[in-house]
Structure 1
Amino acid sequence: MRIGVYLAHPRPGSFNHAVFDAVVRELGDRGCDVLAHDLCAEGFAPVLAAEETETVRPAVPARDALVELHRSEVATLDALVLIHPNWWGMPPAVLTGWVQRVLAPGVAYKLGTADGEPAGLLKAGRALVLNTSDTPADREEDEFGDPLQKIWAACVLPYVGVADVRRVVFRTVTDSADETRASWLRQARREAAALLV
């Protein structure tokens, strides 16, 4: 399998980086062709250019070579893994920009189907979203309704053709013990391995 693993956290040494490393290692050990991208380290520019805001016609080639690389890669993936913190109920800006610039019309979806709904173009049938959070689960669900679940499982991934969306949240990270973090890393590896079955 060809799997893209995308990390959105600017601080080297963060727990998100540890999750990313564990997932990349697990998938590689299982013989996958892993395309691992630390978006911040790569310098992925999240800001859309005016010519990239078309939503009906296929996207024009981006002037940014990194955006074009990501577009060409994402079209070949069998699965995606997205790793990021919960910041204000949203992914970090670099990942939001990646979604807007890479999952573009003609690359990840097309409009104009008979029922007016978009048609997903990605061949990746499944995705795993691994989030870190410092918001307790009951507070997030009671007050906010788990906005990241809605973003990934309702708004973004089904739109581009990913029907199987799995999500795991590691919380609360700030005050977690080393043993807890080690357990979370083992869980991240198991979840990544489960993408292959």
Structure 2
Amino acid sequence: MPRIGVYLAHPRPGSFNHAVFDTVVRHLRVLGGEVLAHDLCAEGFAPGLSADETETVQAATGTLDPQVALHRAEVATLDALVFVHPNWWGMPPAVLAGWVQRVLVPGVAYKLGAAEGEPEGLLKAGRALVLNTSDTPADREESEFGDPLHRIWSACVLPYVGVTDVRRVVFRTVTDSSDGTRASWLEQARHHAAALLAD
């Protein structure tokens, strides 16, 4: 049974991000996946690294924070990852950026090699799905900003830790979307989530 971590980063209950998260979690479970679902804001995940923890991270000896320790232990066992979050200033929300920095640490998610710091990814998860919401039209996102979230997930973060199949879907523009449009987006989310379970 595939083991999939699904992570939501949105602080407002009832947001469309919550609807996407709930839809994906339910659908993956119906299809037989073992889903570890985390609403990071609701769980109170603290994004900030302390000075002491930066030393611990560098030494790859663990963490004194039991919540972070749980996430590190879980992420090492996953077959796939799903991230659900809005595009805020071309970045994931702070809670998710902090999750990356505190959980995907040396000795858990990667180790540095001898050749000019080239990393070796340690995660067994071969696939990841990133589901974003945005209020920026696609042509403006690309022409003015260069789609920074694509670079963050598909170039900077996930390949670094060994995830080679990164898929990203953007639902836009959310603020002026109709109920029918949102229903079609949720169907797309189900479709892309199901693809994580395909051989």
With the length of structure 1 as denominator, give the TM-score of the two structures. Answer: 0.97
Partner of 1:42: 43
CA distance in 1, matches of 2:197, 2:189: 14
Partner of 1:92: 93
Q: Give, in angstroms, the shift of residue 64 of structure 1.
A: 1.2
The list of structure 1 runs, each at least 4 consecutive aligned residues, that deviate by more than 3 angstroms after superposition, is 54-58, 113-116
Partner of 2:172: 171
- Structure 1 vs Structure 2 CA RMSD: 1.3
Aligned length: 197
CA distance in 1, matches of 2:136, 2:53: 34
Q: Give, in angstroms, the shift of residue 53 of structure 1.
A: 2.4
**Cα distance change on mapping 1:196 and 1:139 into 2, 3 Å:** same
Which sits farther off after the overlay, 113-122 or 46-55?
46-55
Query: Which runs of 5 or more residues in structure 2 are unaligned?
Result: none
Tell me the alpha carbon deviations over residues 126-179 of structure 1, each in whole angstroms, 9 at most, x when there is no partner. 100000000000001000100000000000000000000000000000000000
Q: Give, in angstroms, the shift of residue 116 of structure 1.
A: 3.2
Give the fraction of aligned pairs with identical amino acids, expressed as a percent: 80
Tell me whether 1:132 sits opposite 2:133 in the alignment: yes
**Cα distance change on mapping 1:56 and 1:118 into 2, 3 Å:** farther
Partner of 1:189: 190
CA distance in 1, matches of 2:59, 2:37: 26
- The DSSP-based 3-state class of the residue aligned with 1:53 is helix
Report if the CA contact (8 A) 1:7-1:37 is conserved: yes
Tell me whether 1:109 sits opposite 2:110 in the alignment: yes
Report if the CA contact (8 A) 2:56-2:63 is conserved: no
Partner of 2:64: 63
CA distance in 2, matches of 1:158, 1:9: 24
Q: Give, in angstroms, the shift of residue 185 of structure 1.
A: 0.2
Which sits farther off after the overlay, 105-114 or 117-126?
105-114
Tell me the alpha carbon deviations over residues 103-123 of structure 1, each in whole angstroms, 9 at most, x when there is no partner. 000000001244530000000
CA distance in 2, matches of 1:113, 1:83: 34
